Structure 1
């Protein structure tokens, strides 16, 4: 009788543990837990990095990136219970460099076109400390690229992919990425829509094509870093660059106070880059699949 009771009690405990495990494995749950954890790490370390100068600030930002990646990997391993091929160390450097080159081409081409249309003019910032500006631009771009890609293309995309499939995941993450920038300086409904297309869709397509986060992080990093170095506001955040940008003409061309990302020019260019990425993803059967 005691053995039967003990067996029944053990079975009930196993059932409770199983239900608890399934709860944590539900995509929305691990997405929220992972995102909040990364945001908390960012909220704790980023203010410290902003209060210290030079290389120490960059070191703290690198620490932020490392911890954010660790939080992501722990979330995926112990809550989502899945492997993490999107952060494989194999080929990580090559993918990051490829992404960075793509970002440089994208922003440089956008800026050149806006200049040729009379929207921007640049002059060298004579009082700029080159080393300080470089470190500040790299630091700001690196922190944003790692944290935002882990949350949007890492957690949210894959949670939505699990529930709704690839294309719905691309649409949802792109929309939320645009909404997330509505509170920035100079933001408008148009700028949020522009970010949805030129950043949300482009970075989502990059992830679907390359099937790793390193490429998306590299693209995101060089995009923001180059804007900062050129003295162009990064999604409404003004920074001291190596150049001083003077803005002329309508905001639809220049992006206004929001910066280059609010311009029609990068929206068009991003779509020209996105389409072959999505085509390559489909053709190579490299689309992310639902995880088990």
Structure 2
């Protein structure tokens, strides 16, 4: 079996995807249940478990890549870890805040009340694990191996479509919500990985985006209210779904799609400015 994994990229793609998606289900589901709390004690526990879960996933991925691909996992090189995570986190929070300001400006939310600090802490733990596992699965495994098979452009499109499609199993899911997630998460985060060849920036960006949604604004994340809430509590207005995002949450707002598309274009332009063999590999179709 190990030989087949080492010698066949399609087999490696399928097996690793199944294995890490199963890990995602096993870890994220119980953590999500615990995160629905305002208890100070449980909030601290969820935060610690969330960080621990992320560390375990990263170490497991490095070990698997070493065994299966006989190489160090350079996409998780610790050299630039801190700066990339912080930069990604700040960008994620910043662009989601811009989305919420646009939604509020056009009447998409009626009010922003106060939530709970402890719920925010628990949400931070949950989103740490979620962002790490999903980036390992969809960018570290799916996009990277699809890129070897099809080239960067096709890999971006295919992985984005699959990323959005899998969100159809979420509560309050809709076809438009899945399309929006494909554009925001699939294309934006895939492009962030492609331009840096590192998972740290996408992990930070994914965390910042999700944490801002649930941990700051108390809004649903991809249709789910799995966290206990955030510092603020957003009240949905009875307006057009394309403005507010409806029950799916702000990610289904047209403003979220537009804001994330701007960042995606920026990443793609950065890719095009790369030179030499690296640039040729990135734009291979």
TM-score per shorter chain, which class? 0.7 to 0.9
**1:287 CA drift (Å):** 5.3
The structure with the largest alpha-carbon Rg is 1
1:107-146 correspondence runs (5 A)? 107-125=96-114, 128-130=115-117, 132-146=118-132
C-alpha contact 2:108 2:243 (8 A) present in aligned 1: yes
**1:32 aligns to 2:24 (yes or no):** no
C-alpha contact 1:253 1:263 (8 A) present in aligned 2: yes
Q: Give the structure 2 partner of residue 273 of structure 1.
A: 263
Q: Give the structure 1 partner of residue 218 of structure 2.
A: 231
C-alpha contact 2:5 2:68 (8 A) present in aligned 1: no
Extract structure 1 runs of 4+ deviating beyond 4 A. 286-290
Of 177, 180, 184, the match for 1:194:
180
**1:35 CA drift (Å):** 2.7
Q: Aligned-pair RMSD on alpha carbons?
A: 2.1
Q: Give the structure 1 partner of residue 70 of structure 2.
A: 81
C-alpha contact 1:202 1:273 (8 A) present in aligned 2: yes
Unaligned runs of 5+ in 2: 36-41
Report the 3-state secondary structure (helix = DSSP H, G, I; strand = E; otherwise coil) of the residue aligned with 1:90. helix
Q: Give the structure 1 partner of residue 274 of structure 2.
A: 284
Report the 3-state secondary structure (helix = DSSP H, G, I; strand = E; otherwise coil) of the residue aligned with 1:181. helix
Once structures 1 and 2 are overlaid, which stretch shifts more, 262-271 or 60-69? 60-69
Q: TM-score, normalised by structure 2?
A: 0.87
Once structures 1 and 2 are overlaid, which stretch shifts more, 116-125 or 250-259? 116-125
* Structure with larger RCO (C-alpha < 8 A, sep 6+): 2
**1:185 CA drift (Å):** 1.6
Unaligned runs of 5+ in 1: 1-18
C-alpha contact 1:25 1:79 (8 A) present in aligned 2: no
Of 14, 18, 21, the match for 2:3:
21
Post-superposition CA distance 1:92-143 (Å, at most 9, x none)? 1101111111111110001001101111133323xx431x112121012111
Post-superposition CA distance 1:236-280 (Å, at most 9, x none)? 112422222122211011110000000111111111111111110
Report the 3-state secondary structure (helix = DSSP H, G, I; strand = E; otherwise coil) of the residue aligned with 2:233. strand
The number of residue pairs the alignment matches comes to 269
